Amino acid sequence: SDDEIVNITYITRDGTHKKIRGKVGDNAMYLAHRYDIEVEGACEASLACCTCHVYVDEEYFDKIPEPKEEEEDMLDLAPVLKPNSRLSCQIILKKDLEGMTLTLPRITRNFYVDGHVPEPH
């Protein structure tokens, strides 16, 4: 039913606003994958990477439950951490997140702006 619908927007790395439609209980990262938005999610939501890093709209940030300690630890590894940083795999949609915008960072640990991944050394 419409009560279940939660519309959110992802701003992708090239600045495109992608409006997508989820429902209460959806995981924001997996929802993005369903719409081919390039959120990585290398560890499949097991809090063992930080490639699903996003910035949350200020006005919605406090509506998301506080991060677990494991999420905080992972966020510490994210390049370009900001006060409104979260891991998208830990954001579960609910009705009061209707209209939220999530912005992808310019870089994550695995993805560089030009798509070049440095060789391991």
Rounded to whole angstroms, how far apart are CA atoms 88 and 10?
Answer: 11
Are the beta carbons of 73 and 46 closer than 8 angstroms?
no
For the CB of residue 2, give the shortest distance to ligand FES in the complex, in Å: 29
Q: Which of 89, 91, 97, 104 binds ligand FES (CB under 6 A)?
A: 89
> By CB under 6 A, is residue 49 in contact with ligand FES?
yes
Interface with ligand FES, residue 41, by CB under 6 A = yes
Which residues are 55's β-sheet partners?
A: 85, 103
Binding of ligand FES at residue 42 (CB under 6 A)? yes
Burial class (CB in 10 A: 0-12, 13-18, 19+), 96: exposed
Tell the smallest beta-carbon distance from residue 109 to ligand FES (Å).
Answer: 10
The site map against ligand FES for 64-83 (x = CB under 6 A) is ----------x---------
Q: Interface with ligand FES includes 56 (CB under 6 A)? A: no
Rule CB under 6 A: which residues touch ligand FES? 41-43, 45, 47-52, 74, 87, 89
